[in-house]
Amino acid sequence: MGPLNLFEGLIEPKVNAILLGFLSNKNELFHLKKLSRLSKVPMSSTFRIVRKLVSLNIVRVVKVHKFKLYQVEANEKTKALEGLLVKNEGK
């Protein structure tokens, strides 16, 4: 058995994959399709999860013409998530 992820079972695997995608590329702007491919999560699930993360102020929306791009916020919530998720994924 491989190393245990502290949050395995507590956080839905799709949400975890999307959060890790954002946190491992903090300065990057993501279109839903790119984030979906990176995290290997279906587009409709990605949309639902990102919408929830925006409402929780973990991700922000950047509108460029008719496109919506998403970027992880730089705040206490995301720093705490990064400390918990990224450290545990690296083990």
Range of the domain at 32: 28-90
Q: Is residue 3 part of a domain?
A: no
Rounded to whole angstroms, the Cα distance separating 86 from 69 reads 23
Short-list 40, 27, 38, CA closest to 70: 27
Specify if 85 maps to a domain: yes
Question: Residue 58 carries which DSSP code?
Answer: S
- Chain segment 25-40, per-residue pLDDT in tens: 888 999 999 999 999 9
> Is 45 within the bounds of a domain?
yes
Task: Give domain status of residue 75, yes or no.
Answer: yes
Query: Is residue 21 domain-resident?
Result: no
Q: Is residue 11 part of a domain?
A: no
| DSSP codes joined into one string, 2-48 | -PPPTTBTTB-HHHHHHHHHHHHTTT--B-HHHHHHHHT--HHHHHH
pTM for this structure? 0.82
Q: For the domain that residue 66 is a member of, what is the CATH number?
A: 1.10.10.10
Domain count, the chain: 1
What pLDDT does residue 81 have? Answer: 81
The answer to whether residue 4 sits within a structural domain is no
Summarised one tens digit per residue, pLDDT across range 65-88 is: 999 999 999 888 888 888 877 665
pLDDT tens digits along 2-58: 344 566 667 888 998 999 899 888 889 999 999 999 999 999 999 999 999 999 999
